[in-house]
Structures are given as C-alpha cells and as structure tokens.
Amino acid sequence: MDRRQLLSAEIYGYSYDNYHDHLGVNPRFDRYMPEAVDILESAADEEWPIEKVARALGVEISAAKEDLLALERARKVVDAENPAESFRWAVRQAIEAAIEKGLSDPESIDQLTIQICYRAADLGYILKQNGEVLSRYSRHLRREPDVEYYEGYFDEEE
C-alpha cells in the first residue's frame, strides 16, 4: 500500500491487512478515502478554515475537526522514521484512547489488548511490505526515554 492508503487506514480505523484486502474490490478504499486524505493534507498544510474543510469533505464542522485530528495522529504513525517508531506511536495512541474511554475493568483491558495486537499485525504488514524482519528493529523497540545512546547505536544490527 502507498502512503495515502496507509493514512486512509489510520484515519478511518482499518487494519492494514483489512484495508489491503479491500483494494481493487471497493472504490471506497481505492478512491474515496485516499481523496479525502488529499483534502485533509492540503487543509492541514495550507491551514484552511474549518468551514472550508467541512465543505470540501461534505461533512459537518465537528466531523471535519475530528478528521483533521485523525490526520495528525495518522501522520505520526505513517511518517515515523522507521517501523518500530511507527509501532510505538500506534500503541501509544491506542493506550491514550483506552484511557480516555475509561480503562478500568477487565473488558476495557481486553479491548486495549486487542488494539495492541492489531497494531502488532500492522507492524508485521509494514515489515513484510518492506522485506524486513522484526529483529532489525530490536534496539528501536527497546529504546527508553531519557537514556543517552551512543551515535550509531541504532544503525547496528544485533
């Protein structure tokens, strides 16, 4: 899948495998969602007034605001420096959403677990698409905040 399709999957809540399975079968996935991504990216980059965004998308202002926020989140995942950082952003966003909804009982924890597993599947999709293996990103996945790493640490493979 290309960047527009990955952004579409992120914005509209599809796993990468599911989105890929709909390509060539459903014009919503091939044309309409990527066209909406183009509108959203232009709107964000050119700082359109929200009314213009809503008109261009054919939605209410509240939905246009949500779509712009979804684009911002999607860009963090899709445009991350590498698949490991993409996965980190995706998992963080899943956790933040779960906390916002109320992560307080076994059912909500199960739902978060499912979302993290979906994000792992998306990571697998990207690695397969790039012809890479997970172990290549082992150090990136184990990176800790506030820890200084020597230059080149992430360039070496284990």
* Cα atoms in the 13 Å half-sphere on the side-chain side of 38: 7
For residues 47 and 91, state if they share a domain.
Answer: no
Structure tokens at 154: 């992430």
Query: Which one of 79, 110, 126 terminates a domain?
Result: 79
Read off the pLDDT band of 157 (50, 70, 90).
Answer: low
Read off the pLDDT band of 22 (50, 70, 90).
Answer: very high
For residues 42 and 92, state if they share a domain.
Answer: no
Distance, CA of 14 to chain centre: 10
- pLDDT tens-digit series, residues 40-71: 999 999 999 999 999 999 999 999 999 999 99
Model confidence at 158: pLDDT above 50:
no
Which helix H or strand E contains 55, and what residues bound it? helix 50-57
Provide the domain count of the chain: 2
Model confidence at 122: pLDDT above 70:
yes
Query: Which one of 48, 79, 110 terminates a domain?
Result: 79
Q: Which domain holds residue 64?
A: 1-79
For residues 36 and 89, state if they share a domain.
Answer: no
